[in-house]
Amino acid sequence: LRNVRASIRHQLTARDEIGLAAGGDDSEYQDLGSGSNDSRIWNARLLWSRNWSPVWSTQLSFGGSTTDAEQQDVPQSGGIGCVIFGIPFQCPPELARVALDDQDFSSRSTGVVGSLAITRRFERSLISLGYSRDTRSTGGSGRTNFDIDAFTLSFTHRLAERVKLSLSGNYSLYRSVTDDLPSY
């Protein structure tokens, strides 16, 4: 996995901050018998943060991503039908599957990425609710790139001067970037 990230932020007013973020990931997965995978994901986002009051703030990002995935040397096999006098029957195992030449597959896609978080501060604690949409490479065989919708709720409370308690929960939903799977 190789990745790069860059961002720039500018304090626009006492309450508003804007920015731009860009990044890329290049993931290569070794061949474990089902072909090798290479996945490249690039994204760019516009950022905006605002302090609405001393206790309420929001963070928003919006942008796009592009994904390029390649699978090489994917083993292929085919079945042959055993038919005698027009009647199909179960082939012996040694005849049921025939190895074919390995094939390469590639796919490209684009998507929307972004996030929204709302934070409420109290005297000794804060609570934050967030949603994010991102595209990531998450596996080495078959479907490797996913659009991920994540919902997060976090709570932080200062118990003492140097002691903080943090609780968080996350629900993530993964969807394949492409519906095309190589045929094995």
Q: What is the pLDDT of residues 132-169, one digit of tens each?
A: 998 877 665 555 678 889 999 999 999 998 999 999 99
Asked if 148 contacts 177 with a C-beta cutoff of 8 angstroms, the reply is: no
Strand ranges in the chain using DSSP code E only, listed in sequence order: 2-11, 16-29, 36-51, 56-79, 82-84, 87-89, 97-121, 125-137, 145-160, 163-176
Residue 23's nearest CA partner among 37, 11, 10, 6 is 6
Q: What is the pLDDT of residues 77-129, one digit of tens each?
A: 666 667 677 777 667 666 666 666 777 777 778 889 999 999 999 999 999 99
The alpha-carbon radius of gyration of the chain (Å, integer) is 24
State pTM to two decimals: 0.70
* Distance from C-alpha of 144 to C-alpha of 78, rounded to nearest angstrom: 24
184 band by pLDDT with thresholds 50, 70 and 90 = very low
Mean local confidence (pLDDT), 58-74:
86
pLDDT of residue 178: 66
* Distance from C-alpha of 113 to C-alpha of 24, rounded to nearest angstrom: 13
